[in-house]
Amino acid sequence: MNILVTGGAGYIGSHTCIALLEAGHQVVIADDFSNSDEKALEAIGTITGKDFKFYQVNVARFHRLEKAFTEQKIDGVIHFAGFKAVGESVENPLDYYANNLKSTITLLKLCRKYKVQQFVFSSSATVYGDGEVPFVETQNLKPATNPYGETKVMNEKILKDYAKANPEFAVILLRYFNPVGAHPSGLIGEHPRGIPNNLMPYITQVAKGLRDQLYVFGDDYDTVDGTGVRDYIHVMDLAEGHVQAMEHLQKGWDVVNLGTGKGTSVLELVRAFEKVNEIEVPYSIAPRREGDIALCYADTQKAQRVLGWRAKRNVEDMCRDAWQFEKNNRHEGQ
Ligand code: WQD
């Protein structure tokens, strides 16, 4: 299949392009480089040895994006493009609603015009809010704790309603838990600009000496050791889950968790990282972060039943691959 991957130069998008190309699909990437750069595109080519098409475009721009639909025969879409920083979304809610919703609506208008009926959407476990764990796809969603999470809930609704109005359309909403790690080559990985919001890139930058210590946001949660528990999933497992989703699409809409089903605390992740990479990660306990929840991990039965997919890589693999990328990666302008 010829798959349009929006945000395909980004962290999860680029790893997914590798998995698609290695599974024998063709890839068209649309990305505006607002949170990525051409180094990821070079790495995709180097790692796979395969060609792909690229359009530097903001997905919300109808006529600019239409070029990809008129010049390429698109069979399906995997939609990653969107702003994704929780804290930033609280400061700039209008930018988040405008960009994240307009991108999806524009894309669907083009799918309708060019009769593209296969769609996989990058959603997030954040839609579950502070609900009952393990999170299962059928449970009621709690209000998201930030505008970023709200845009995921709203995009899921837009896609469900579009699928109801267009019976030939097939969409799977993939709810990711906490993607971490990197391709084992060390050529591609998570490279946040500025101070990392997320835990793993912060740990790798401390290990590299770019930051003096990790601040653990609270150790008084009702968890195994008081620190936040999350379902970390290797980005390559996540990428392979997208290939399975694209290949298992059925008419209508469906929603599937992509997680490991295993919860790991902040301190457990730090210790695993130190052990696997034989390196120290100094840390201190800091106050809780606004909007954080104590526990978040997936019920993974549906992914196995519907996609024939389950995560294969463990926390040690995630720590090893994340560190491998950090060591290889030149950090400009910290
Ligand atoms: C994990 C744990 C923190 C940083 C968010 C989004 C989610 C997805 C992934 C986009 C928590 C603790 C973190 C630090 C810390 N994003 N922590 N010190 O918040 O679970 O999920 O990112 O799709 O939608 O909500 O991920 O990595 O920020 O935090 O102690 O410097 O690490 O409190 O318990 P989170 P995270």
151 domain-assigned: yes
289 pocket-lining for ligand 1 (C-beta < 6 Å): yes
Distance (Å, rounded) from C-alpha 158 to C-alpha 222?
A: 36
Predicted local confidence at residue 263, as pLDDT: 98
148 annotated active-site:
yes
137 part of a folded domain:
yes
**Torsions phi, psi for 211 (to 5 deg):** -135, 150
Mean pLDDT of 73-82: 97
Q: Provide the pLDDT confidence category of residue 78 given band limits of 50, 70 and 90.
A: very high
8 CB-contact burial (10 Å; exposed 0-12 / middle 13-18 / buried 19+)? buried
The residue count of the chain comes to: 334
Pocket test for ligand 1, best of 178, 214, 220 (most atoms within 8 A of CB): 178
The verdict on residue 190 lying in a domain is no
The DSSP line for 132-193 is PSSB-TTSPPPPPSSHHHHHHHHHHHHHHHHHHH-TT-EEEEEEE-EEE---TTSSS----S
Domain that holds residue 86: 2-180+233-259+302-311
Say yes or no to pLDDT of 94 above 60. yes
Q: Which secondary structure element, helix H or strand E, spans residue 254, and what is its range?
A: strand 252-258
Task: Quote the pLDDT of residue 291.
Answer: 84
Q: Is the pTM of this model over 0.85?
A: yes
Does the residue 165 lie in any domain? yes
Q: Kindly name the residue from 11, 96, 128, 148 that is annotated as catalytic.
A: 148
pLDDT for 333 beyond 50: no
Tell me whether strands 229-230 and 264-265 are parallel, antiparallel or unpaired: antiparallel
Q: Is residue 285 part of a domain?
A: no
Q: Is the pLDDT of residue 28 over 70?
A: yes
Torsion of CA 55, 59, 62, 64, to 10 degrees: -20
Tell me if 320 is assigned to some domain: no
The answer as to whether 265 is a domain residue is no
Question: What is residue 192's predicted lDDT score, i.e. its pLDDT?
Answer: 85
Segment 215-260, tens digit of pLDDT: 999 999 999 999 999 999 999 999 999 999 999 999 999 999 999 9
Q: Are 318 and 234 in contact (CB under 8 A)?
A: yes
199 domain residue, yes or no: no
Please tell me if the CB atom of residue 313 comes closer than 6 angstroms to any atom of ligand 1. Answer: no
We report the CATH number of the domain holding residue 94 as: 3.40.50.720
Determine the distance separating the centroid of ligand 1 and the alpha carbon of 197, expressed in angstroms: 7
Is the distance from the beta carbon of residue 183 to the nearest atom of ligand 1 less than 6 Å?
Answer: no
Lowest-confidence range among 192-201, 276-285, 323-332?
A: 323-332
Per-chain mean pLDDT for the chain = 95
Percent of the chain with pLDDT over 90: 91
Take atom 18 of ligand 1 and give the residue whose Cα is closest.
216
Q: Does position 37 have pLDDT exceeding 90, yes or no?
A: no
79 lines ligand 1 (CB under 6 A): no
pLDDT at 19 over 50: yes
pLDDT at 293: 92
Q: Is 283 in the pocket of ligand 1 (CB under 6 A)?
A: no
CA distance 45 to 223: 43
Q: Does 85 score more than 90 pLDDT?
A: no
Question: How many domains is the chain partitioned into structurally?
Answer: 1
d(CA 283, CA 15): 30
User: To test ligand 1's pocket by mutation, which of 202, 289, 315 has the most ligand atoms within 8 angstroms of CB?
Assistant: 289
